[in-house]
Amino acid sequence: MIPALEATGLGRRYGRAWALRDCSLSVPAGRVAALVGPNGAGKTTLLHLAVGLLSPTAGSVRVFGETGRRDRVAFLAQDKPLYDGFTVAETLRFGRGLNPSWDDGFARERLAALGIPLRGKTGALSGGQRAQVALTVALAKRPRLLVLDEPLANLDPLARHAVMRGLMEAVAETGLSVLLSSHVVSDLEHTCDWLVVLNGGRVQVSGAVDDLLEGHRLLTGPAEEADAVAARLPVVARDRAGRRETLLARAGDPVLGPAWASAPVSLDDLVMAYLREPEAAALPRPALAR
């Protein structure tokens, strides 16, 4: 099956500094993929490369196996840019004029269901309504891949929930693939099923969330035995508290001594552990890529 997004050796340089380097990843179709990483990790650069706003300095990026298909990918930029002087109706007309695949009925129904009047100026909308209008413009284009840059930033919890639910409804209805960036992992816990961790311009983790959670354990035991365990298992991060040490290991459920407790990891634990250890990586081997 053709992946929704496939990057091969992708890199982008600004002057002499690489914003993104040697990035290879594959996000399968039909997934809601989360791109997480600290500020300045290259998230926005990767997204801009994916939607064609930037061209790569090295490597390539393909959406459903093709490059330069602007009609197949929609983008919701950070801060949800809209023309502030336009009414909502004019914003829809903008989308209709610039996209042959525009679904005007869908856009109007969606805004009506959200209770957003078409006559108001977009500049006068609340943050949540603005995000919904921007999302409507992106969805009404009927893309196969929707890319969102920090869609939940600057929104109150209620609006975050509403935007996420709207997104999930669209995914359920149309089988849309989604790639969204965020630096708040808790927002993504129950919505995203693919995780990409970007750190310092490199891909650290890329995989299905379920597989990643199953494939990692939090192991807690006596600090003096920790080195022996770490020698046997691929350990991502270690955290010593007094005489006990907690290891986050890339392993199923290993058989350890009775002094050791093994617990499942949360997505938050997993992301934080990798971000703290930029050298660690969990990338699917070719055989595992789905």
Partner 1 sequence: MFWLTWRQHRAQMLVTASFLLALGALLLGSAIEAAVYAAAHAPPGCPGPSVACAEVGAGLSARYQAVYSLYGWMPLLAPALIGAFWGAPLLGREYERGTHLLAWTQSVSPARWLAVKLGVLGGAVALGGLALSAMATAWRASFPDSVAGTWFGNLGVFNMVGVVPAAWWAFAFATGAAAGAFLRRTLPAMAVTVAVVAAAVFGLFSLSDHYAEPARTVTTDRAAVFARDSRLLREAWVAPSGAETEAVPMTVCPSPPDAGRSGRNAEARERCLFQAGYRLAVYHHPPERFWRFQWIEAGILLAASAVLGAAAVARTLRR
Tokens of 207: 């995989």
Under the criterion CB under 8 A, does residue 137 sit at the interface with partner 1? yes
Tokens of 179: 């790639």
Judged by CB, which is closer to partner 1: 155, or 282? 155
Which residues make Cβ contacts (< 8 Å) with residue 290, sequence separation at least 6? 28, 208, 284
Under the criterion CB under 8 A, does residue 54 sit at the interface with partner 1? yes
Instruction: Select from 140, 279, 138, 266 the least CA-distant residue to 200.
Output: 279
Tokens of 109: 């129904």
Judged by CB, which is closer to partner 1: 94, or 260? 94
Judged by CB, which is closer to partner 1: 76, or 218? 76
Under the criterion CB under 8 A, does residue 57 sit at the interface with partner 1? no
Query: Distances from the Cα of 157 to the Cαs of 35, 56, 127, in angstroms?
Result: 20, 36, 11
From the list 64, 94, 106, 260, which residue makes contact with partner 1 (rule: CB under 8 A)? 94
Under the criterion CB under 8 A, does residue 115 sit at the interface with partner 1? no
- What is the C-alpha to C-alpha distance for residues 76 and 148, in angstroms, rounded to an integer? 5
Under the criterion CB under 8 A, does residue 81 sit at the interface with partner 1? yes
Applying the rule CB under 8 A, the residues between 170 and 189 that interact with partner 1 are: none
Judged by CB, which is closer to partner 1: 79, or 189? 79
Q: Phi and psi dihedrals of 164, rounded to 5?
A: -65, -40
Under the criterion CB under 8 A, does residue 104 sit at the interface with partner 1? no
Residues found near partner 1 in the complex (CB under 8 A): 51-55, 70-71, 73-75, 77-79, 81-84, 86, 90, 93-95, 97-101, 134, 137, 141
